[in-house]
Structure 1
Amino acid sequence: MECNVSLEGLAASQHGQLKYAAAFIDEQIRDIRLEDNHLYITHESPKGNEAIESQVRRLIERFSNGDFGFKENILFEHKVATPYEGDIIAELVELKIIKVLEAGLFIFREPFSSLMRFFDYSFVTKIGNRFAGIKEESYPAVIHCETLNKTNHFTSFPEHIHFVTHLREDLDIIEAFSQSIRDHGGWKQDTQLDLNKSMPMPKFTMNPSTCYHCYEGLQNETLEGDGIIVSAISKCHRFESRNHSDFGRLLDFSMREIIFVGKPEFVKENRLRSIEYIKELAVEWNVDSMLEIANDPFFTNEFQTKAAFQRNQEMKYELRLSIPHIKKSIACSSVNFHSNTFGNAFQIKMSNKRPAVTGCVGFGIERWVFAFLAQYGLDEASWPETFRGQYHAWQQKSL
């Protein structure tokens, strides 16, 4: 079946957000596309077209509620006529450089895996190490549900969450579960299991963002001086339904972050410095890119209010790299200011007893590599000379 909904009255700037959110309407949706101011949804849902259309109307109301008006502003643009325009993912798959396990879940092989390590090394040495006193931390792949509750992640981005649980500590349940799997000839996705009976309420989820662990680790602490700067890389996980078919939108990805926690002036000044460092690197590597004001994809009826506030206060910037093959760009880095939201949530205070404010700079490692190769291809002779030289020097150092 195909559902066709007119988007008349919805600002064009909101069409992409609507398409993204529509993927979460029903598990039986097979395809979503935007054409001629209409949203087309192909599905196999027993609910029928009327129910699907009703859900789309709910989302349209969410994204068009009130006099919203995005504040659009490109802060920086570096235009480059890059040499490669092919389908880099198809080429990487054909050459077995990446193995697609399912949409958004990849195994990365050489040279992609080496490029990932080089990009992370470069973000640390070229940007992170320019901040005096920066400290490296290492975080778990899972995070307490209570921590996500304090960050309002459950109410802002509930669709992304991957819960982690286990079989109950009950011998009868464990043995019955094991026997059920044997009886069905192994694990099958359609096996009918009473998970509510077999598993407890989750205590953990997969970590959706690197910086949350930093704030969790500072809970109830008092910081001396102006503040601290932390660098960390971790695996992050976000479920994005059919949107994982979009270029670079991964289920499991690596996020390097530089995190600022301290007095307002300390965080704001270092955030501004980080923006300049990112712009310098984009020019140095000659990537086709732009830095613009952005907002998070809040999955809430308060989307308009939250997104407008974020944009109008310029609390989030994104560095976007162009993908010539699809004639679009993807966000590869973000620069964020959270005010005292996390300082209050985790009771992080300064020596003057005021709550700490926070900010962070994020680098999506796989996205940077995908975008770079989408612009320059796998032939190293076509890469920018400066980038190629730095990569080869890093390779020699890593031997």
Structure 2
Amino acid sequence: MRVSPDGFTLASPGAGLAVLDPAQTALRNDLEAAFLRLAAQVLAPEVVPPALLPVAGLAELDYFKNFPHLCVTADRFSPPAVEALGSGMPVGDLADGLRQSTGFVLPSATCYGVLLALRDQQLATEVRLTAVGRCYRNEDHFDGLRRLWGFHMREVVYVGTQDGADAHLKVSRTFIEQFAALAGLELTVVAANDPFYDTDGSRATLTALDPVKHEFLAPDGTAIASVNRHRNFFGTRLDITHEGRAAYSSCTAFGIERWIHALTLAHGSAEAARDRLARG
């Protein structure tokens, strides 16, 4: 059994779950401070995203058409189930159908809650916001900090003009590449095949010709950050307008636990990774 410098080990409570130890938590805080520098650079104040997302709102965004495999629902026990559990019945013995839908699901990305909060607004100016959320994904397998049921995602979101959305991603990409170099990480940039919106018809063709999402991969292939160009999809679906037309949007995302994984792999420990960041 591995023993930490603190004299104890924080083991995983279950498959796909992790507790960050003190050194990893300190590294997480260092990373958050760095990512907030990008937010400050683009003048994006911080907001707190919602803990749940409405099913109806996500359905309007083709979420369940494109990402049903990732969705983790937020159900509740029915009154008969509550009575049975209160009487001492083991939860594993409950009959099927004793859970009720709440009409909400757990977020799989931070930006959905931010963008849904801008619904039906005529924006007088460009909007830049940043948020960190706990995100949840029903992955086909779990692997340390690389793939978890729940993880933290820091996003920096832009909503406004087409040129502004593109400029936001250019600044973000430069930041990611420069920060990775300071952190001692060699990244590979690849076009991803999981855009936010409908992958059928003309949008799919356009995406194939002009990718809307690029991921930054650590040396072991872990995607630790991405830049995402939504075009005017969210503006159209959510009736968010700017300058008299459907707003364009884009976002930059950082998977914080994945950064911890990549930096620990590169430098041997979270402590060594923190030292490298401090020197950078």
Q: Distance in 2 between matches of 1:91 and 1:207?
A: 34
**Which one of 191, 201, 204 corresponds to residue 104 of structure 2?**
204
Q: Distance in 1 between matches of 2:27 and 2:16?
A: 19
**Which one of 159, 174, 186 corresponds to residue 288 of structure 1?**
186
Q: Distance in 2 between matches of 1:109 and 1:377?
A: 15
Relative distance call for 1:91 and 1:258 in structure 2 (3 A) is farther
Question: Does residue 1:388 correspond to 2:247, yes or no?
Answer: no
Relative distance call for 1:319 and 1:128 in structure 2 (3 A) is same
Deviating above 4 A after TM superposition, structure 1's stretches of 4 or more consecutive aligned residues are 95-98, 302-309, 382-386
Cα displacement string for residues 117-158 of structure 1 (whole angstroms, at most 9, x for unaligned residues): 111111112x111113x1211012211111211221101010
Q: Distance in 1 between matches of 2:237 and 2:27?
A: 37
**Which one of 136, 140, 146 corresponds to residue 56 of structure 2?**
146
Report how far residue 271 of structure 1 moved: 1.2
Decide which structure has the larger Cα Rg and report it. 1
**Which one of 114, 125, 128 corresponds to residue 229 of structure 1?**
128
The residue number in structure 2 matching 1:165 is 75
Cα displacement string for residues 315-335 of structure 1 (whole angstroms, at most 9, x for unaligned residues): 11111111xxxxx32100000
Relative distance call for 1:365 and 1:384 in structure 2 (3 A) is closer
Cα displacement string for residues 264-314 of structure 1 (whole angstroms, at most 9, x for unaligned residues): 11111111111111111111222121222222289x9x6898776434312
Unpaired runs of 5+ residues, structure 2, are none
Report how far residue 210 of structure 1 moved: 0.2
Residues 1-399 of structure 1: matches in 2 within 5 Å?
97-125=9-37, 127-132=38-43, 134-168=44-78, 170=79, 174-179=82-87, 182-183=88-89, 186-188=90-92, 191-194=93-96, 196=97, 198-225=98-125, 227-241=126-140, 243-245=141-143, 248-296=146-194, 309-322=206-219, 328-350=220-242, 352-378=243-269, 380=271, 383=273, 387-389=277-279
Report how far residue 235 of structure 1 moved: 0.0
Report how far residue 160 of structure 1 moved: 0.9
Q: Distance in 1 between matches of 2:201 and 2:218?
A: 26
Cα displacement string for residues 194-216 of structure 1 (whole angstroms, at most 9, x for unaligned residues): 3x2x3333311111110001111
1:97–1:108: 8 Å Cα contact kept in structure 2?
no
2:18–2:145: 8 Å Cα contact kept in structure 1?
no
Q: Distance in 1 between matches of 2:244 and 2:49?
A: 27
Cα displacement string for residues 207-240 of structure 1 (whole angstroms, at most 9, x for unaligned residues): 1110001111101011113x11100000000011
Amino acid at match of 1:230: L
1:97–1:112: 8 Å Cα contact kept in structure 2?
no
Q: Distance in 2 between matches of 1:121 and 1:97?
A: 26
Report how far residue 336 of structure 1 moved: 0.3
Relative distance call for 1:363 and 1:311 in structure 2 (3 A) is farther
Q: Distance in 1 between matches of 2:118 and 2:58?
A: 15
1:282–1:289: 8 Å Cα contact kept in structure 2?
yes
Amino acid at match of 1:317: H
Report how far residue 178 of structure 1 moved: 2.9
Relative distance call for 1:192 and 1:175 in structure 2 (3 A) is closer
Q: Distance in 2 between matches of 1:347 and 1:217?
A: 11
Q: Distance in 1 between matches of 2:135 and 2:270?
A: 30
Relative distance call for 1:240 and 1:220 in structure 2 (3 A) is same
Q: Distance in 1 between matches of 2:274 and 2:81?
A: 59
Q: Distance in 1 between matches of 2:201 and 2:139?
A: 20
Relative distance call for 1:223 and 1:371 in structure 2 (3 A) is same
2:111–2:251: 8 Å Cα contact kept in structure 1?
yes
Cα displacement string for residues 236-280 of structure 1 (whole angstroms, at most 9, x for unaligned residues): 000113x21376011100000000111111111111111111111
2:260–2:270: 8 Å Cα contact kept in structure 1?
no
RMSD: 2.7
Q: Distance in 2 between matches of 1:131 and 1:341?
A: 22
Q: Distance in 1 between matches of 2:207 and 2:173?
A: 17
Amino acid at match of 2:65: T
